[in-house]
Amino acid sequence: MKLKKLEMALQRFAGFPRPRAALEQYQTPAPLAARLLYHALMKGDIEGKVVCDLGSGTGVLAIGAALLGAKRVTGIDIDHNATGVAEENAVLAGANVEFLVADVRDTSLSDRIGTCDTVIMNPPFGAQKAHADRPFIDLALVTAPVTYGIFNAGSTQFIKTYTAGRAEITERVGGVFPIKRTFSFHTKEIREIEVEIIRLISRHQVTHLA
Ligand code: SAH
C-alpha cells in the first residue's frame, strides 16, 4: 500500500467519542501516523512482523500496521471506549487487529502480551500527569527489540537518560502534530505541536535473543 493510500485510509477513521484529558487522548493525525508506519516499514519492522501498539486509542497506528502487512497486531488501551472505536475502525479498514483493555502500568501485562517484534506507540506526553510516558517506555523495552514512539520535540535527551543501559536511540524523525481544540483548557482552534518519532533498540531483547 502506497503512503498516500495509507494516509487516506487512516483519515476515514472515527475519533475518540468523548476524549479524556487525564488519559491524554489525542488521535494521531493520519499524515503523522502514516509517516511513522512507513518509516518503520522501510526499516523492515512492519511487514511480516508481530506488532504491538501501546495506548492504541482509536487504533490508527495498530490498524495502519496491519494494512502494511504486519503478521499479527495487538493494540492495548486502558479505555474500553477507545478499544470499542478501534474495533469498529478495524472493520471499516478490513484489517485484523486484536484490541485488549489493559493498563500499561500493570506488572502482569508483559506476561499476558508476550513478546512482539516491533512496538509502535503514541503515549501520553505527560502533560496532564507527569511521567505518564514512562510506563509505556518501560513496557515497550521488555516487549520488543524495536520501538517507534512519538514524543514531544526535545524529548531525546530525557529518553536517552531514562533508557540509559536499556536501549539505544537509533533514529529521530521530526514531525508536527496539529491538535484541534478538544478540551476546555485549549484556547486556540488549532495548535501545532512539534514532535519527534524516535526509534529505540532495546538491549534487553538483544541480549535475550542472543
Ligand atoms: N495511539 C493512539 C492514541 C494516542 S492517545 C493514536 O496514536 O491515535 C494516548 C492513548 O493512551 C489514549 O488512548 C489513552 O487512553 C491511552 N492510555 C493512557 N494511559 C494509559 C495506560 N496507563 N495504559 C494503557 N493505555 C493508556
Q: Note down pLDDT in tens along the chain; length 210 residues.
A: 889 999 999 999 999 988 999 999 999 999 999 999 999 999 999 999 999 999 999 999 999 999 999 999 999 999 999 999 999 999 999 999 999 999 999 999 999 999 999 999 999 988 778 889 999 999 999 999 999 999 999 999 999 999 999 999 999 999 999 888 888 888 888 888 999 999 999 997 555 444
Residue 94 within any structural domain of the chain = yes
Number of domains in the chain: 1
Residue 28 within any structural domain of the chain = yes
Residue 10 within any structural domain of the chain = no
- Which three cell numbers, joined as nine digits, stand for 126? 505527560
CATH code at position 58: 3.40.50.150
d(CA 210, ligand 1 centre) in Å: 32
Coil, helix or strand for 76?
strand
Domain extent for 134: 22-209
Testing ligand 1's pocket by substitution, the residue of 28, 56, 89, 109 carrying the most ligand atoms inside 8 A of its CB is 56
Testing ligand 1's pocket by substitution, the residue of 10, 12, 24 carrying the most ligand atoms inside 8 A of its CB is 24
56: closest CA among 13, 3, 8?
A: 13
Tally DSSP H helices, then E strands, for the chain.
8, 7
- Can you give the pTM of this predicted structure? 0.95
Coil, helix or strand for 205?
helix
Residue 189 within any structural domain of the chain = yes
Contact 193, 152 (CB under 8 A): yes
Is residue 78 in contact with ligand 1, taking CB distance under 6 Å?
A: yes
